[in-house]
Amino acid sequence: IRESATLTRDVLEQHFNDLKGTLKKLLDERLMSLLQEVDTIEQESIKPLDECQKLIEHGVSTADDLLRDGESAVHGDVGQQNEKLCSFTKKALHIQLDSLPEVPSLVDVPCLSAQLDDCLLTILKNQIFRHGTVASRPPVQLEEFVEKPGGILVRWCKVDDDFIPQDYRLQYRKSTASHFEDVYVGSETEFIVLHIDPNVDYQFRVCARGDGRQEWSPWSVPQIGRTTLVPHEWTTGLEGYSLSSRRNIALRNDSQSCGVLYSKAPTYFCGQTLTFRQVLPGIETVGQPDRRDSLGVCVEQRNGCDSLQRDKAVCVSTNGAVFVNGKEMTNQLPAVTSGSTVTFDMEVVQLGPSSNEGGNFKLRVTISSNNREVVFDWVLDQCCVSLYFGCSFSYPGWKVLVF
């Protein structure tokens, strides 16, 4: 309770401090806009009046000069009087002293003022006092964490029967981080969070948005999850494939070199689910399929092979054919295309000295793709609970994520 109360106080203080800064910025921007409008009107309105004043002042100055010339001609010497009078007369004829520039009428002269509506404060006051709520009962809670290689499967559930959810929002952070970040928004009630460092605590929380609503519900009680399983990684150095920085995404490039790309180590254990897909939207291909293409698992790495369609391996071809120890099964899955997801689940069903098939170790294998699955027993001649995974594509453009 104390932790959530402290966090809520911090969120409220930060939010309202941000609002203060934003409101001040908006008010300053509006003030500058209005002041610029005053400046523009003043400059545009005063310009013709200034020009009129300059013309009048120039005319008065010219009349004063002419008056002084006339006085000088009248009071001057008799010998120069006729010459000065002629000069005065010529100048007087060329100066128009009987006209004035047009002066704008009083109704055309602007008179600026500011109109400020006091109701803004009332509106803001009403909105501010309705802004924000404090709730103590979130309608959804985190339910389960399932370890995945390099990830955590997070499940949550609704705890308020009267609440009708439309979307969920899942956030997480490292326990050493200060801020949560969104990792999923959607209608599902579970999500696999990838790129999780093993043996590191992460905090998770979830909230929901009611049907037809825009605002999110209160957050659930934060809970800690972790995984002890190292992430799946493709092995580096195979010329025909380019890998992502985390080495969990492989892209078949334009190289003419071919072969099987294996995992770095046998990190797939019986009892887990192995998934092949691209982050969004699934396994994506821009190239053409080939009957030798394969996605699957094997007991050991074997260099020199161009496909997983061999002994001690089970795989799916891009045309949906399932191969067990190099033999094609009669059951078939949908073709692997853009948006497909292929999963492998295995469990030990027999440990013993022998079996009718001649092996002494049997795994129950379930391969699923596009809402269809095949189930069969994989007989091996040795005990094997950790396996390599691999893929092989003949043409460029295939891009596959494994987790």
Which tens digits make up the pLDDT trace of 221-243? 889 999 998 899 999 988 889 99
Residues 386 and 246 in one domain: yes
Residues 1 and 62 in one domain: yes
The answer to whether residue 23 sits within a structural domain is yes
The answer to whether residue 196 sits within a structural domain is yes
Residues 108 and 223 in one domain: no
The domain of 370 spans: 241-402
CATH number of the domain where residue 299 is located: 2.60.120.920
Lowest mean pLDDT, pick from 1-5, 47-51, 96-100, 179-183? 96-100
Nearby residues of 296 by Cβ (< 8 Å), 6 or more positions away: 308, 313, 314, 315, 316, 323, 344, 389, 390, 391
Q: Is the pLDDT of residue 281 over 50?
A: no
The answer to whether residue 365 sits within a structural domain is yes
Residues 89 and 5 in one domain: yes
∠ CA(80), CA(81), CA(85), 5° rounding? 120
Q: What is the pTM of this model?
A: 0.61
Looking at the structure of the chain, the number of domains it has is 3
Residue that finishes a domain, picked among 105, 130, 155: 130
Residues 15 and 97 in one domain: yes
Residues 219 and 273 in one domain: no
Helices 78-94 and 2-75, axial angle in degrees (round to 10): 140
What integer best gives the mean pLDDT of the chain? 85
Residues 156 and 88 in one domain: no
Residues 109 and 1 in one domain: yes
What is the Cα–Cα distance from 123 to 101, expressed in whole angstroms? 51
Residue that finishes a domain, picked among 101, 130, 159: 130
Residue that finishes a domain, picked among 130, 159, 189: 130
Residues 390 and 269 in one domain: yes
The answer to whether residue 236 sits within a structural domain is no
Q: Provide the token pair at 292.
A: 């030798």
Q: What is the pLDDT of residue 391?
A: 93
